[in-house]
Chains A and B, each alone.
Chain A
Amino acid sequence: MELEEGIKRINGTIEVQIEGFFTERFINLCKINNIKIWNIKNILNGMVRFNIAIKDFKSLKKIAKKTKCKVKIISKKGMYFKWFKLRKRKLALILLLGFLVISVLSTKFVWKIDIVGNTYIATEDIYNALEEAGLYVGRNKFNLKTKKIINSLRVTISDIAWVGIDIDGTHAVVNIVEKTKLPEESIRNTAIGDIVSNKSGIIQKIVAENGTPILSVGDYVEEGRILIEGKVYSEFLETKDVPAQGEVYLKTNYEFKKDYEYNIQEKEYTDKVKYSIGVGINDKENYINYLDKSLKYDIIKSSSDINLFGNNISFSFYTFKIYNLKDRVCSKDEIISTANVEAEEYFNSEILPSLKEAKVINKELFIDSEDDKKVTIRIVFDVVEKVGYFKERN
């Protein structure tokens, strides 16, 4: 009951004023006829104001006649009257209707595709295969046959064992189960082959667990040469083919080479800082640009990203630090120390992560060429690392 009353009040309420001699009787009759009125105020003698729901207003007519009261509307509130005002604004109504239609229609399309369960198949390949099969962002759900898509996906990518497509509203979830690949170790245990070097250098240590080591410590090895052969030689028995296993450590070297000039330009920051905001869509950045082109700036950017239908939208805040360039002459020692730091950085970030069990044993600095203007510095890192990969013999 209470909920019904609440809905009635939201729909529309009217403030009514009655005038007459029998206002008390009017209120009593409202009560008897089950007409809900509230906020009853006596303004003057014989003049009462109260609120009433819009649905009950018509039934006041009878009571007013009986009690000989004058009924006057003071104010109107609620949704009904707002809609009533809007009825003449046809364009607004049409736009509202259009909006409703568009929002309903937009639920009939696939707006997001998620791929779940793939470990070694690249997600992009699956996306491409799905697009070829007929499932892409923006496709309508009408006449979408998932069985057909699944079949063609399994034909194009052979590593897939099972595919399931769930379409939940506008969101398609592609579940993928991959075929399990034999792990490398189990291939090694069964297949016959050799261990081959993937780098060139001098052998530091060679231990064969299975097979025969062809080279010994101190030999120079080139890339692609066999290190441990997958054969066991015997004086009394026939030679036997085995899967080669073992560890090989090579001494290799890596170079860092760069030209340094004596005359350099240094940044000298001023105290002035400028700020700006911008929006970027898919790596294209736009910001409010009011900078003086004759000055030079360092741009510092802090942004937050939103992913919308596969487009990356970022809102950024830019700070521009103004600086001047200043000429300076460097000494040789200074150049050497900066070269050392840069070489170390380069080695640690670029080379070291790709090596296996690597250890730097020596670092040497060479000056290749030198004239009035510049120096060429070369730094060589001597490294001991684990090399070799298993290659199956045909």
Chain B
Amino acid sequence: MDRKEGKKFLKKINFKNKISAAKEKFLEKLNVPDELAHNLTKITMIENKEILIEGYNNIVDYYDNYIKIQSKNIYIVLDGSNLNINEINDSELLISGNISNIGYLNR
């Protein structure tokens, strides 16, 4: 890579960074929730009985006592007993049962 090309490349990266910074500022000004702005996963729990996961990708493992769910950035791992999937939807997942442990793994 000669010097000229290197400069061009740096310019490109700078430009991209600027755009993403502007985008973030704009979303912040509009008060858009984080999970919608960055396509993150939202987890809502009711004690240890029910868990609602919004914005998941797919189910990796499904057993009676263990569920592994893939989302955009992480894996969500649930341990417990009598784990049933009550509702499954394009973006939402409702799991009920006795949840004893909830963990996260990096992808």
B88 and A27 contacting across the interface, CB-CB below 8 Å: yes
Q: Of B26-34, B36-44, B54-62, which binds chain A? A: B54-62
Q: Considering only CB atoms and an 8 Å cut-off, how many residues of chain A contact the other chain? A: 19
Question: Which residues of chain B have C-beta atoms less than 8 A from A44's C-beta?
Answer: 64
Residue in chain A with minimal CB distance to B65: A42
- Residue A302 is within 8 A (CB to CB) of chain B in the complex: no
Majority SS at the chain B contact face: strand
Q: Considering only CB atoms and an 8 Å cut-off, how many residues of chain B contact the other chain? A: 15
A27 and B64 contacting across the interface, CB-CB below 8 Å: no
Residue in chain A with minimal CB distance to B69: A24
Residue in chain A with minimal CB distance to B64: A42
- Contact pick for B62, options A38, A39, A48, CB 8 Å: A48
Complex: A113 Cα to B88 Cα, angstroms: 58
B90 and A41 contacting across the interface, CB-CB below 8 Å: no
With A30-B88, A40-B85 known as contacts, the answer to whether A24 contacts B59 (CB < 8 A) is yes
Interface set, chain A 14-64, CB cutoff 8 A to B: 23-24, 27-28, 30-31, 34, 36-45, 48, 50
Complex: A37 Cα to B86 Cα, angstroms: 9
A27 and B84 contacting across the interface, CB-CB below 8 Å: no
**Minimum C-beta distance from B1 to chain A (A):** 42
Residue in chain A with minimal CB distance to B62: A24
- Residue B47 is within 8 A (CB to CB) of chain A in the complex: no
A37 and B62 contacting across the interface, CB-CB below 8 Å: no
- Contact pick for A24, options B61, B87, B89, B90, CB 8 Å: B61
- Contact pick for A27, options B62, B83, B87, B90, CB 8 Å: B62
Complex: A283 Cα to B38 Cα, angstroms: 82
- Residue B63 is within 8 A (CB to CB) of chain A in the complex: yes
9 contacts between A and B (CB under 8 A): A23-B62, A27-B85, A28-B59, A31-B88, A36-B88, A38-B87, A38-B88, A40-B62, A42-B64
